[in-house]
Amino acid sequence: MTAHTDPSGYTSPLVPGDLFARHQVITGLRALADFLETNPCVPVHEYGATFPFSVCEGDAASAARVDQVAALLGVPVADDRPTGGHYTASKSFGRITYRIVHVPQRRHDEYDAYMSYRDNIRLDPDQNNGEDGEEGRAA
């Protein structure tokens, strides 16, 4: 397997399938841009769009990947982990933003704990018989 070192010093193995998928994404983005340019009646979001990439390689490796991409983008990392948030880097290209995100394992665990109650809450559709615009309440 061949290894590649980018300008930030991050070394990763090159996998032919990864290169093929990357090529397909780039080709698709170009095709979409060409389509939108030749079809001005097709709506687009006024404020653009975000091209997100979520890193799931373990906390240390994911943070290192965000650091690596931030260096390539030439942008600082936003570290909201101390307040329970994410580790991100993003750069806008006109109205299109590329954003790489690492969600720490602790945040995943907190979310799983929070959602563990979802099966214990159900709506009672007969409460108030639909009056006052309410369709139900938690039972």
Element (H, E) at 36: helix 16-38
What is the spatial distance between Cα 70 and Cα 5, in angstroms, rounded to a whole number?
15
Q: Are 24 and 18 in contact (CB under 8 A)?
A: no
Is 53 or 121 the better-scoring residue by pLDDT?
53
Per-residue pLDDT band at 105 (split at 50, 70, 90): confident
At 19, which amino acid appears?
A: L
| pLDDT beyond 70 at 133 | no
Which range is least confidently modeled, 13-22, 52-61, 69-78?
13-22
Q: Residue 50's closest CA among 87, 102, 103, 100?
A: 100
Residues 57-104 have pLDDT tens digits of 888 999 999 999 999 999 999 999 998 889 999 999 999 999 999 988
Q: Residue 12's closest CA among 82, 75, 67, 65?
A: 65
Say whether pTM exceeds 0.75: no
| pLDDT beyond 50 at 2 | no
